[in-house]
Amino acid sequence: MKISTKVMSGLMMVTLLAPFAASALTIETVGNTIGLGTADLKETVINIIQWVLGLLGLIAVIMILIGGFQWMTAGGNEEKVASAKKIISAAVIGLIVVLLAWAIVIFVVQTTTNVTT
């Protein structure tokens, strides 16, 4: 008897909410609700890539600062100094990679823009 009561209440809910759900779920309303906007897909992808590369660059700079702090607080301990040098060199390499990736993205965007216009 419990199962039939649950099934009946579920069917009633679906029956009552179906007209509202059908009218509320359109592409435009869902896009406006979650804030998709009306920007071009290419511009959106470029903005996402630049945002991610900016975040990675920020992380690399923070790692350089952490390595510098570790070096300054090493107190002459060679192991800590060596560890700090490794952190700084890895962060600098990461920053160079991010900057090169950013340059490649700009080059590709400008090249594809010139081709399509």
Domain parsing of the chain, residue ranges? 1-36, 39-117
**pLDDT at residue 23, rounded to an integer:** 56
**pLDDT at residue 16, rounded to an integer:** 59
**pLDDT at residue 113, rounded to an integer:** 78
pLDDT 10s digits, 31-64? 666 666 677 778 888 888 889 999 999 999 999 9
DSSP letters of 8-77?
A: HHHHHHHHHHHHHHHHH--HHHHHHHHT--S--HHHHHHHHHHHHHHHHHHHHHHHHHHHHHHHHTSTT-
